[in-house]
Amino acid sequence: MEFLNPNKEKQVRLIFIIVSIVIPVVVAALFKISIEGVDLSFLPPFYAGLNAATAILLISALMAIKKQNQKLHRLLMRFALLLSLLFLVCYVAYHLTSRPTVFGDTNHNEILENSEKLAVGSLRSVYVILLLSHILLSVAVIPMVLFTYLNAWEGDFVKHKKLARFSFPIWLYVAITGVIVYFMIAPYY
């Protein structure tokens, strides 16, 4: 098992802090940018699938570590990180090249008219609550996941386990709600 070189620890911590700040800021800023003429409409089901696969990997990794199979756990967690990174790239690419999708907007004019509001009813509130919790927790989980991973990489499994008690369920929630949000918004693409 390879552990992080103690001389590199401060550099990696700084990189993780920077990444934890930069990713949400860049994603938010990208919503102000629009690239016309590129059709990436195939991406939402793909990145919803990435979220689903991440959730499966996270549960599998939990089962592996409960069976004390550290090697499989480590492999599954690295793959989950990779899929989450791929999700982020696809999500940003899609939103850079696509108009906003409004939940309930059946005529696709980006305005939720009264008749459309009535048609979706309280389901819109459920969607908004899920979406907001998904977005807020996806921002919060970035540093949690990175530092949980870093603790394991450093060989500090006491800290790793302590932080994983929080980061794991949040990451799993974000992955699962990503799939649910996709299925709820998909009819309005």
Q: How many alpha carbons lie under 13 Å from residue 180 in its C-beta half-sphere? A: 18
What pLDDT, on a 0 to 100 scale, did the predictor assign at position 172?
A: 98
Domain boundaries, the chain: 41-188
Counting other chains too, the contacts that 80-86 makes at CB distance below 8 Å and 24 or more residues apart are 80/54, 80/171, 81/145, 81/149, 83/50, 83/53, 83/54, 83/57, 84/50, 84/54, 84/145, 84/171, 84/175, 86/50
Predicted pLDDT of residue 3? 65
**With a threshold of 0.85, does the pTM exceed it?**
yes
pLDDT of 1 strictly over 60: no
Query: What was the pLDDT predicted at 5?
Result: 67
Residues 25-35: pLDDT tens digits? 888 887 788 88
Q: What is the mean pLDDT of the chain?
A: 92
Lowest mean pLDDT among 7-16, 33-42, 99-108, 149-158: 7-16
Residue pair 149/69 in contact by the 8 Å Cβ criterion: no
Give me the helix-helix angle, 123-153 and 157-185, nearest 10°. Answer: 150
The predicted-structure confidence for 86-128, as pLDDT tens digits, reads as follows 999 999 899 889 888 999 999 989 889 999 999 999 999 999 9
Q: Which CATH architecture has domain 41-188?
A: Up-down Bundle (1.20)
